[in-house]
Structure 1
Amino acid sequence: MEKSRSKRGKTREEDGVVSDGDEPQKKVPKPDDDSDESDTIFICELSKNRKVSVRNWMGKVVVDIREFYFKDGKEFPGKKGISLSMDQWKILRDHVDEIDKEIDT
């Protein structure tokens, strides 16, 4: 529900409810950091800090190639990495032989 403020400082919600703004706003609890892991399938470790996984992100399945780091004894995904959509993954997969040929030459 979107809220807007009137000139008098009252909050008006789209459904017509008006509040004076004196009420504390309800806080929505943040999901745990580990909540996303249930949708992540670890595939392989490329090196010490790089991994390939398949996960559900915003309702879409992606192939995630990412660097990880440790903080306070926990492993977290880093900023360096790429998430390939299924279309992008299929294109890459279909061109693996061509990539291998270029590497060998």
Structure 2
Amino acid sequence: MAWIYLIIAGLLEVVWASLMKQSLGFTRLWPSIGTVVFMVGSFGLLAISMRTLPLGTAYTIWTGIGAIGAFLVGIFILGEQVSAMRLVAASLIICGLILMKLSSQH
């Protein structure tokens, strides 16, 4: 169950990071409120997952999901540039996440 909480926490991180961008530096009310709400949910689920998962594994997976998710939101929703180097970098993050999961005994 800890892995499910961790994955959901990572997805919520993508949401709050995206809303933070939309808040324009916390100058827009609803995206700012959404940022805080999803941030609290993300941190809460991360904390629950850390009851059984090692700190290094949980935090790495959480930030990795957030990084890759924000990268994809940037490309597909915000129209950010795609380059070979950025794709290689994202692929390396994904490889690291897979290795971290495989190295975990939980």
Q: For the superposition of Structure 1 and Structure 2, which TM-score range results when normalised by the shorter chain?
A: under 0.3
Q: TM-score, normalised by structure 1?
A: 0.26
Structure 1 or 2: larger strand share? 1
Q: TM-score, normalised by structure 2?
A: 0.26
User: Which is greater in Rg?
Assistant: 1
Structure 1 or 2: larger helix share? 2
